[in-house]
């Protein structure tokens, strides 16, 4: 490799040394109108070369003409060459004057020499780069259509041209901006609008479509993906703007279009200074730290440089995994991982006494709706009594903030899971009035890709060629990405004064059947031919439509446009604590009938949806099997 670099540098120096006399003699030839140079002037030119060549060679070296690589010749190389030529011409003129060689020399020679030498030094460099970019490697490269001729498309095309080893050749752009159509970017023509994509792919024999639209919203992405799907060739996309931390868009960062690209909303704009002020330098505890929400929350909190991060998790594998990830990416973080059950009073008390966390994010919960319908005792023990244990410890040890992560299923709950989360909300909201700790509840819907959600299930079924199982054609759910959810959780933690329920803006609900159809198409398979959708009927505890707030909760604006505030309903403290004590006794006695009665007392709006024909508001008594 060192020998190759030396040979390359020697070749460049040799080329430039040859170009100096070529440009010098060419200047005389031009001066005499491309005719024969008179003998006197020709002799004068040859003598002057003994001064011009060594001086220009020294100046070229001084200005770093041989630090650049011809393969990547660019504007900085042109600037260096220009500086070297100006300096070389001035120094040569002074030297020729001192040596007495300027007598009788045509005045235009030095100017013409500079222009010719500029061309002789730059054109071969850029021609060599063009030759490498457009011919040598691109003979077997995949032909690429770039969607969007903006900054992202320009950067993507430039990266492919500079790195042909990636085997991609940009052939054309499409863009809806009429002012760009017909123009060229990096030598590549904008051949039409987005709608012309299928025609362009066919006419130009495109192999790959690259969507260079990092700022596209969900509706725009759905439109572009629908066009790309009609073309019958693979398509890739650049990450969203918030994922492009480096500010550069490269071929290596291209990825498949994900379902969240089509279901997302407008980018979340956090008040980062306020979030940092609220979390940086503080001792923070996350319960359920190894779960879908908990693990992402830990990653984002760790990046804010807390004084310490305490992980509480009852799954040995999940705790091992998140601890490993955090230690790998945040080596300076003061990290303490503990295997414990949130319902274990002794364990929680010991952890709070040892670390005195200032902020607690309570993400630990059982959340699988159909499973918990027959596991009411475990749901109550973990989701209600476990929350009570952690919340009381936070109060007892002077924690500043306690954030309960809740769910839309707690609103008019049709299942045990939602009812237990609603009771947890009621408890921490009312505890806030009795405590110096600020108790805050954050409520949102489904998280894309979380454990137990439909997205991983659908992905598995599609990969295996199985039928995709959807419970009902009209089933709708709210969705957001885990990253979005955690960012808004952190924002809510610094907005709350205590006792509030913050409802995250989940956008519009998504039809689950349509979600399945989109995922099938994104996998490259044909709906109905390769993969079918089978409707299985509502499962125990499921509703067709979820809600984010109760009709009696007055929804109010907050300081953040994507967070709303729902006022909670007060419950007499003595009555509340007495009923919670009864829940504890019923759990200890494994009395599921009594647990069902108590849940109905706590959540009188609790309802069951037995089949698709029942209204979402119907109240149905618990069965004895609960």
Element (H, E) at 504: strand 501-504
- Output the six-digit token pair for 347: 């364990």
- Catalytic member of 409, 508, 532, 543: 409
**Can you tell me which residue has the tokens 């089949």?**
611
- The phi, psi pair for 52, rounded to 5°, reads -65, -45
What is the Cα–Cα distance from 352 to 342, expressed in whole angstroms? 12
- Output the six-digit token pair for 176: 């809806």
Query: Three-class SS of residue 541?
Result: coil
What is the Cα–Cα distance from 448 to 466, expressed in whole angstroms? 21
Element (H, E) at 174: strand 168-174
Q: Which candidate, 484, 470, 477, 483, places its Cα nearest to that of 513?
A: 470
What is the Cα–Cα distance from 181 to 191, expressed in whole angstroms? 6
Beta bridge partners of 502: 442, 565
Is residue 409 part of the annotated active site? The answer reads yes
Element (H, E) at 533: strand 533-535
Q: Which candidate, 127, 147, 336, places its Cα nearest to that of 238?
A: 147
Q: At what angle do helices 316-329 and 292-302 cross, to 10 degrees?
A: 20
- Contacts of residue 116, defined as CB under 8 A and 6 or more positions apart, other chains included, come to 22, 23, 26, 27, 30
Query: How many alpha carbons fall within 13 Å on the CB side of residue 476?
Result: 13
Query: 281 with 307: CB under 8 angstroms?
Result: yes
Report CA-CA distances (Å) from 284 to 281, 297, 385, 421, 595: 9, 11, 22, 23, 33
Query: 265 with 505: CB under 8 angstroms?
Result: yes
What is the Cα–Cα distance from 313 to 311, expressed in whole angstroms? 6
Rg (CA), the chain: 35
What is the Cα–Cα distance from 523 to 399, expressed in whole angstroms? 47
DSSP 377-436: HHHIIIIIIIHHHHHHHHHHTT-SEEEEEEEGGGSS--SHHHHHHHHHHHHHHHHHTT-S
What is the Cα–Cα distance from 540 to 414, expressed in whole angstroms? 9
Which is it for the CA torsion 465, 466, 471, 473, positive or negative? positive
Q: How far is CA 395 from the centre of its chain?
A: 37
What is the Cα–Cα distance from 245 to 262, expressed in whole angstroms? 21
Catalytic residues: 409
């Amino acid at each position: 490799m060192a020998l190759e670099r030396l040979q390359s540098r020697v070749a460049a120096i040799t080329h430039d040394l040859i170009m100096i006399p070529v440009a010098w003699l060419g200047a005389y030839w031009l001066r005499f109108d491309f005719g024969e140079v008179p003998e006197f002037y020709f002799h004068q030119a040859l003598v002057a070369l003994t001064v011009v060549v060594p001086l220009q060679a020294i100046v070229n070296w001084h200005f770093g003409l041989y630090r650049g690589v011809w393969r990547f010749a660019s504007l900085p190389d042109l600037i260096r060459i220009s500086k070297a030529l100006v300096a070389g011409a001035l120094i040569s003129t002074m030297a020729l004057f001192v040596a007495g060689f300027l007598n009788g020399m045509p005045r235009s020679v030095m100017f013409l020499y500079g222009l010719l030498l500029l061309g002789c030094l730059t054109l071969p460099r850029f021609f060599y780069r063009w030759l490498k970019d457009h011919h040598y490697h691109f003979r077997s490269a995949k032909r690429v259509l770039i969607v969007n001729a903006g900054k992202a498309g320009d950067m993507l095309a430039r990266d492919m041209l500079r790195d042909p080893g990636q085997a991609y050749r940009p052939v054309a752009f499409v863009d809806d901006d009429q002012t760009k159509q017909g123009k060229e970017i990096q030598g590549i023509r904008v051949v039409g609008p987005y709608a012309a994509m299928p025609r362009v792919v066919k006419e130009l024999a495109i192999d790959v479509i690259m969507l260079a639209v990092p700022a596209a919203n969900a509706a725009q992405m759905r439109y572009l993906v629908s066009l790309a799907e009609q073309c019958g060739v693979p398509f890739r996309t650049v990450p969203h703007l918030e994922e492009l931390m480096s500010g550069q868009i490269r071929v290596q960062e291209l990825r498949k279009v994900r379902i969240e690209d089509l279901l997302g909303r407008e980018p979340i704009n956090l008040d980062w200074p306020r979030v940092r002020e609220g979390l940086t330098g503080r001792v923070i505890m996350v319960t359920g730290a190894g779960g879908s929400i908990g693990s992402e929350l830990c990653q984002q909190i760790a990046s804010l440089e807390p004084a310490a991060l305490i992980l509480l998790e009852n799954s040995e594998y999940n705790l091992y995994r998140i601890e490993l990830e955090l230690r790998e990416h945040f080596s300076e973080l003061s990290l303490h991982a503990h295997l414990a059950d949130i319902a274990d009073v002794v364990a929680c008390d010991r952890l709070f006494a040892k670390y005195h966390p200032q902020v607690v994010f309570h993400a630990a919960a059982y959340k699988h709706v159909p499973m918990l319908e027959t596991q009411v005792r475990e749901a109550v023990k973990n989701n209600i009594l476990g929350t009570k244990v952690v919340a009381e410890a936070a109060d007892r040890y002077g924690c500043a903030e306690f954030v309960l992560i809740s769910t839309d299923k707690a609103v008019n709950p049709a299942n045990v899971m939602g009812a237990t989360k609603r009771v947890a909300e009621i408890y921490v909201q009312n505890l806030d009035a009795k405590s110096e700790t600020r108790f805050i509840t954050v409520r949102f819907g489904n998280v894309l890709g979380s454990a137990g959600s439909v997205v991983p299930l659908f992905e598995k079924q599609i990969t295996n060629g199985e039928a995709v199982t959807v419970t009902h054609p009209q089933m709708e759910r709210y969705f957001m990405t885990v990253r979005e959810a955690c960012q808004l959780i952190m924002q809510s933690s610094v907005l709350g004064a205590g006792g509030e329920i913050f409802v995250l803006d989940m956008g519009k609900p998504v039809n689950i059947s349509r979600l399945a159809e989109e995922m099938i198409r994104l996998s490259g398979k044909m709906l109905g031919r390769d993969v079918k959708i089978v409707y299985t009927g509502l499962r125990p505890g499921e509703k067709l439509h979820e809600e984010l707030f109760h009709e009696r909760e007055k929804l109010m604006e907050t300081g953040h446009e994507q967070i709303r505030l729902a006022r909670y309903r007060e419950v007499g403290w003595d009555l509340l604590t007495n009923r919670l004590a009864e829940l504890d006794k019923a759990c200890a006695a494994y009395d599921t009938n009594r647990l069902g009665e108590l849940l109905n007392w706590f959540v009188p709006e609790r309802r069951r949806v037995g089949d698709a024909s029942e209204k979402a508001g119907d109240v149905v008594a618990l069965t004895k099997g609960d």
